[in-house]
Amino acid sequence: MRKTVSRLLLLSMLGTLPCGAVARQTRSAATTETLIRNATVLTITRGTLPNTDVLIRKGKIVAIGRNIKVDESARVIDATGKYLMPGIIDCHSHSMLDTINEGTLAVTSMVRTRDVLNPTDADLYRELAGGVTTLNLLHGSANPIGGLNTVVKIKYGRPASEFLFPNAMPGIKFALGENVKRSNNPNIQGATRRYPNTRMGVAEVIRDAFTRARDYRRGWDEYSAALKRGEKNLIPPRRDLELEPLVEVLEGKRYVHAHSYRADEIVMLINLANEFGFKIKTFQHVLEGYKVAGEIAQHGAGGSTFADSWGYKIEAYDAIPYNSAIMARAGVVTSVNSDSDERARRLNLEAAKAMRYGDLSEAEALKLITINPAIQLGIQDRVGSIEVGKDADLAIWNAHPFSVYARVDTTFIDGVIYFDREKDLAGRADLARERTRLEQAEPNRPAAGGRPPQAPRGRRPSHDDDDVEQGDQP
Amino acid sequence: MKKTELKTRSNVAPAKRVGWALAAISLAAITAFSQQIGNPAAQQGVQPARGTYAIRNARIVTLAGPDIDNGTVVIREGKIDAVGSNVSIPAGAQIIEGRGLTVYPGMMDAGTSLGLVEVGQGANGTVDTSETGELNPNAKAIIAVNQHSAHVAVTRVDGITHTVTLPQGGLISGQAAIINLLGTTPMEMALVPYAALVISYPRLGGRRGDFGPEPPGLDVTAALAANERQLEQVRKLLRDAEAYGRAQDAYAKDNSLPRPDRNIVLESLVPYVRGDRPVIIRADREAELRGAIKFAEEMKLQPILLGGDDAWKIAAWLKEKNVPVILTGVLSLPLREDDAYDTLYENAAKLQQAGVRFCISTGNGGAEVRSLPFHAGMAAAFGLPKDEALKSVTIYPAQIMNIADRLGSIEKGKIANLVVTDGDLLEVRTHVRYLFIDGRRVPLTSRHTDLYDAFKDRK
């Protein structure tokens, strides 16, 4: 059996995605009505509503109330004793990215995560099973200015193009500290170390890039003005794909999501952004955000952090699980993210930790994974709470999502079921049969003689951008 | 302690028993001495004094019978002195009002490297997890456990009172210790200083971190042969240790025999090859788990499996062989792309249903050991009964590590490692209100609470 696994995996990726069938079956439901009946509804923005119905039509929430009447044709889901919450939004993910880091340059604003989306990543389904519906897919943290982000809805089973969150604000990854200094990457003998090597250099890389971006914009402004004056035979400036996104940042058209750990570098970037007149939308990780929460709030930046992940490297040694509570109380729009395909499956518990560590209220803690990350991504008009008119991105939980004993029953995106535990359980026997059939299929039978079979490849590793992949040093 | 250290099989030589009794006595002396030190202090790693305490009017989850809805636990001289609904409180006891609170046994994580590493990346000087080379049976975790590590207090304030701390790496990683998360010296922390030998069962293609590159087109035949060679290295050393033990015993009985040279590597293995102490074998995949059990049978070891991601696949066999499993992967991503999404969430439930002895561990190096209750809670969300989940981080690890006579439940005479909470021990939203380790009331402070207090009101 071992011999056949690698081929089997390939086949299963092509043809037997566990939930592809679910998505196909239920897609038509988007055009009809779904009534989720008698749930405890965690609206996020309007409190918790007991024994409440939520009506979904054409992918939107169209009514919230008691005893909502529907036609016989409507799909009715009895959620008595269950909890309905908005789909969780993960403000820092690397799921479905075939690669994370373009680490050869200190500024890689020309590269786009959008170009490397893999919609068959099995972890997407596992995240849906944790009630997650929206991801902010970020470039890695190998460079002070990294690549462009992609905000997606986890429409697992659909083509990558359908994952793209419509009209989400574009963003870009910045990073500070050890990763961009390449502190934890081995020196390669004879190779020149990439600039920057210090936090001083990190600031200068960003300052230099925005200085160039400002000049670049000026060049276009001058060209446009000349054009307007009717001047002839003008040569337009050469398009610069590195600087264009930075001009968008300067013009407030692109959000900056800045990976950061230490208080000093957080303050550095705030000052630098103020110098150039742009805003940091979120500090990511922001482990020492609690030390400078006032400064972050004053700048108007958000903070997207974790409860855990401390002490694994020097710049994380002062991380505390109270971080989100302190930042939230200081007025920072705060979220809790995963930065890990594993942790993404239990963000509900990560948010609940703000109640254990720092006594955040339940209402505030719920916001950490719903409306707050929505605000941080500029999609708060569409998702992040249960309100009439918003997208029907929802999850039904069998207990309060902050309970460690809670489990997701059903996850909807745009009113379509993308995860359903009952269907998942019911489909397992079929999958087992299919696996057996594939193992016995002609192409998977070991050939007599010839070269020895290959070892099974492990699963694609889950990515964690703090740990820059080995071997990508120029 | 004596009972554990002397837990023997019929083939144990009497001379060796004496040796272990001596070791036990000397350890007891160290512990007795340490009692005189204890100044109450919030500083991490300094032991507060033992005292007499009575936690009254509390719900008590004893795990040794039904829960007591409204009862009292008396702590004296480091031990649980009394527990019940009708217990008289000794004069002079410090009273802890437990109304609305619940008393639990302290949790135990049996699969950590806590105290052996402070900062894994960028601070190599703080990393003492893995010795150089493949065969290090004489590397002992208790020697390098840093009792003043920030991880110790950070972990215990969440209700984990004792852990197994394991060396890592190589084929024979070293010897694990069971430690209380309190103490000023390693021996003050030690519950069982030399608790188990740790072996990493060879893995096809080797063990790499998540970020290592896949080997391009690994040759399975060659890889299997390489693994067999690795196993043969271990086999040879264990056999040498058996022979060494016999030679030393023979010489001890009859000094006219040629004197065999002492060898600290082989000597450290003797209690393990004789089956006196357990051998923790790290194995996750089905083939590794099966191989580990067969190897243990062949070498007559007392095996405990560590990891166990695929244990659910061979649950009936594990039951038949009566091999316990320390599950470290409840919150890991499934091994294979086509595994069900909840394969590892429900691994524990499947083992429990099959009657396999198991416990739940974070498998963490230290920083995240404090999340142990949530690993157990997730298993309960996916089919493990709640009371079993609780046992899987209290009495079950104690049983598997042969210290259930001293820890793991609230019973008279057991070591007073207790946690008092305002709710379900495994729930995230619960807060720990009081903490006792070794009958000492431990302040609920840590590096994290210190930083919180320092910055929470900064404007």
Put simply, the answer to whether A346 touches B451 (Cβ < 8 Å) is no
B121 to chain A: closest CA residue: A313
The C-alpha of A8 sits at a distance from chain B's nearest C-alpha, in angstroms, of 10
How do residues B422-434 score in pLDDT, each as one tens digit?
A: 999 999 999 999 9
Which range (A437-446, B11-20, B41-50, B358-367) has the least confidence?
B11-20
| C-alpha of B254 from chain center | 39
Nearest to B452 among A309, A315, A322 (CB): A322
Residues found in chain A: 474
Which range (B4-13, B50-59, B326-335) has the least confidence?
B4-13
Sequence-distant (≥ 6) Cβ neighbours of residue B447 within 8 angstroms = A320, B44, B150, B153, B154
Q: Return the amino acid letter for A241.
A: L
A185 to chain B: closest CA residue: B122
H-run or E-run covering B386:
helix B386-391
B176: β partners: B196
Nearest to B220 among A355, A435, A455 (CB): A455
B290 at interface of A, judged by CB pairs closer than 8 A: no
Average pLDDT, stretch B302-308?
98
The C-alpha of B339 sits at a distance from chain A's nearest C-alpha, in angstroms, of 9
Asked if residue B209 has pLDDT above 60, the reply is no
Asked if residue B365 has pLDDT above 70, the reply is yes
Per-residue model confidence (pLDDT) at position B204? 80
Average pLDDT, stretch A32-53?
97
Does B260 lie in the same domain as B113?
yes
Sequence-distant (≥ 6) Cβ neighbours of residue B415 within 8 angstroms = B78, B79, B80, B191, B406, B407, B438, B439
How do residues A231-279 score in pLDDT, each as one tens digit?
A: 999 999 999 999 999 999 999 999 999 999 999 999 999 999 999 999 9
Residue B459: inside a domain: yes
How do residues B187-201 score in pLDDT, each as one tens digit?
A: 899 999 999 999 999
* Residues 56-95 (B) with a CB less than 8 A from some CB of A: none
Put simply, the answer to whether A9 touches B336 (Cβ < 8 Å) is yes
Sequence-distant (≥ 6) Cβ neighbours of residue A233 within 8 angstroms = none
- CB B50 within 8 Å of CB B438: yes
B368 at interface of A, judged by CB pairs closer than 8 A: yes
Which range (A53-67, A88-102, A175-189, B166-180) has the least confidence?
A175-189
Per-residue model confidence (pLDDT) at position B208? 55
Does B181 lie in the same domain as B162?
yes
Distances (CA, A) of B276 to B270, B271, B453: 9, 5, 48
The C-alpha of A46 sits at a distance from chain B's nearest C-alpha, in angstroms, of 22
- CB B85 within 8 Å of CB B70: yes
- The first and second tokens of residue B284, run together, are 């996750």
Nearest to B428 among A8, A349, A458 (CB): A349
Q: How many CB atoms lie within 10 A of CB A310?
A: 23
Q: How far from each other are the two terminal CA atoms of chain A, in whole angstroms?
A: 39
Angle, vertex CA A226, rays to CA A225 and CA A227, nearest 5: 90
Residue B212: inside a domain: yes
Does B340 lie in the same domain as B244?
yes
Average pLDDT, stretch B233-242?
98
Confidence of residue B352 (pLDDT cuts 50, 70, 90): very high
Average pLDDT, stretch B67-83?
98
Is the bond into A196 cis (omega within 30 degrees of 0)? Answer: yes
Which range (A235-239, A441-445, B255-259, B287-291) has the least confidence?
A441-445
Residue B154: inside a domain: yes
Distances (CA, A) of B259 to B244, B245, B251: 12, 13, 6
Per-residue model confidence (pLDDT) at position B31? 39
Query: Which pairs from A20-23 meet CB under 8 Å and 24+ separation?
Result: A20/A156, A20/A157, A21/A157, A21/A427, A22/A157, A22/A417, A22/A418, A22/A419, A22/A420, A22/A423, A22/A424, A22/A427, A23/A155, A23/A156, A23/A157, A23/A158, A23/A416, A23/A417, A23/A418
Does B384 lie in the same domain as B291?
yes
Phi/psi of residue A6, nearest 5 degrees: -65, -40
Q: Indicate the DSSP class of residue B58.
A: E
Put simply, the answer to whether B333 touches A405 (Cβ < 8 Å) is no
Does B386 lie in the same domain as B326?
yes
* Probe site for chain B from A318, A405, A467 (most B CB atoms < 10 A): A405
Among B373, B391, B407, the domain-final residue is B407
Per-residue model confidence (pLDDT) at position A31? 53
Percent over 90 (pLDDT), chain B:
83
Per-residue model confidence (pLDDT) at position A24? 44
The C-alpha of A467 sits at a distance from chain B's nearest C-alpha, in angstroms, of 8
B360 at interface of A, judged by CB pairs closer than 8 A: no
Nearest to B374 among A318, A404, A455 (CB): A404
Which range (A32-41, A204-213, A435-444) has the least confidence?
A435-444
Who has greater pLDDT, B219 or A350? A350
Helix/strand number for chain A, H first, E second: 14, 17
User: Which of 3.40.50.620, 3.40.50.720, 2.60.120.10, 3.20.20.140 is the CATH number of A88-378?
Assistant: 3.20.20.140
Tokens 């957080």 locate to A266
B220 to chain A: closest CA residue: A455
Residue B31: inside a domain: no
H-run or E-run covering B194:
strand B190-200
- Considering only the C-alpha atoms of chain B, give the largest distance between any 2 of them, rounded to a whole number of Å: 80
**Cα–Cα distance measured from residue A440 to residue B241, given in angstroms and rounded to the nearest whole number:** 46
- CB A358 within 8 Å of CB A326: yes
Residue B57: CATH number of its domain: 2.30.40.10
Asked if residue B212 has pLDDT above 80, the reply is no
Residue B87: inside a domain: yes
B455 to chain A: closest CA residue: A291
- CB A376 within 8 Å of CB A369: no
**Cα–Cα distance measured from residue A172 to residue A168, given in angstroms and rounded to the nearest whole number:** 13
Residue B32: inside a domain: no
* Probe site for chain A from B370, B428, B433, B452 (most A CB atoms < 10 A): B428
B247 at interface of A, judged by CB pairs closer than 8 A: no
A400 at interface of B, judged by CB pairs closer than 8 A: no
Per-residue model confidence (pLDDT) at position A185? 78
Nearest to A454 among B217, B426, B431 (CB): B217
**Cα–Cα distance measured from residue B109 to residue B360, given in angstroms and rounded to the nearest whole number:** 7
Q: Return the amino acid letter for A428.
A: R
Per-residue model confidence (pLDDT) at position A447? 58
* Probe site for chain A from B285, B429, B453 (most A CB atoms < 10 A): B429
- The first and second tokens of residue B63, run together, are 């795990």
Does B417 lie in the same domain as B400?
no
Put simply, the answer to whether B220 touches A3 (Cβ < 8 Å) is yes
Put simply, the answer to whether A317 touches B120 (Cβ < 8 Å) is no
**3 state SS of B146:** coil
> Which residues from chain B sit within 8 angstroms of residue A455, using beta carbons?
204-205, 215, 218-220, 223
Does B48 lie in the same domain as B168?
no
- CB A163 within 8 Å of CB A377: no
How do residues B2-46 score in pLDDT, each as one tens digit?
A: 333 333 333 334 444 444 444 444 444 443 333 333 333 444 556
**Cα–Cα distance measured from residue A254 to residue A250, given in angstroms and rounded to the nearest whole number:** 8
Nearest to A455 among B205, B341, B381 (CB): B205
B175: β partners: B140, B197
Which range (A19-23, A240-244, A399-403) has the least confidence?
A19-23
> Which residues from chain B sit within 8 angstroms of residue A427, using beta carbons?
none
**3 state SS of A33:** strand
B371 to chain A: closest CA residue: A308
Q: Which ipTM was obtained for this model?
A: 0.90
- The first and second tokens of residue A285, run together, are 């990780």
B373 at interface of A, judged by CB pairs closer than 8 A: yes
A27 at interface of B, judged by CB pairs closer than 8 A: no
Residue B227: CATH number of its domain: 3.20.20.140
> What is the C-alpha R_g of chain B?
22
Nearest to A312 among B120, B217, B340 (CB): B120
- Provide the domain count of chain B: 2
A329 to chain B: closest CA residue: B456
The C-alpha of A309 sits at a distance from chain B's nearest C-alpha, in angstroms, of 7
Put simply, the answer to whether A125 touches B341 (Cβ < 8 Å) is yes
Domain that holds residue B60: 37-106+409-459
B448 at interface of A, judged by CB pairs closer than 8 A: yes
* Probe site for chain B from A404, A464, A467 (most B CB atoms < 10 A): A404
Who has greater pLDDT, A32 or A104? A104
- CB B20 within 8 Å of CB B422: no
* Residues 176-215 (B) with a CB less than 8 A from some CB of A: 204-205, 210-215
H-run or E-run covering A150:
strand A150-153
Q: How far from each other are the two terminal CA atoms of chain B, in whole angstroms?
A: 52
How do residues A121-178 score in pLDDT, each as one tens digit?
A: 999 999 999 999 999 999 999 999 999 999 999 999 999 999 999 999 999 999 999 9
Nearest to B382 among A322, A407, A454 (CB): A407
A15 at interface of B, judged by CB pairs closer than 8 A: no
Does B417 lie in the same domain as B366?
no
Does B437 lie in the same domain as B366?
no
Residue B102: inside a domain: yes
Does B294 lie in the same domain as B232?
yes
Per-residue model confidence (pLDDT) at position B223? 83
Put simply, the answer to whether A308 touches B368 (Cβ < 8 Å) is yes
Put simply, the answer to whether B341 touches A457 (Cβ < 8 Å) is no
- The first and second tokens of residue B166, run together, are 């394991």
A309: β partners: none
Does B442 lie in the same domain as B323?
no
H-run or E-run covering A302:
strand A302-305
Put simply, the answer to whether B119 touches A312 (Cβ < 8 Å) is yes
A406 at interface of B, judged by CB pairs closer than 8 A: yes
Mean pLDDT computed over every residue of chain A: 89
Up-side HSE of residue B438: CA atoms within 13 Å toward CB? 22
Does B111 lie in the same domain as B80?
no
Percent over 90 (pLDDT), chain A:
81
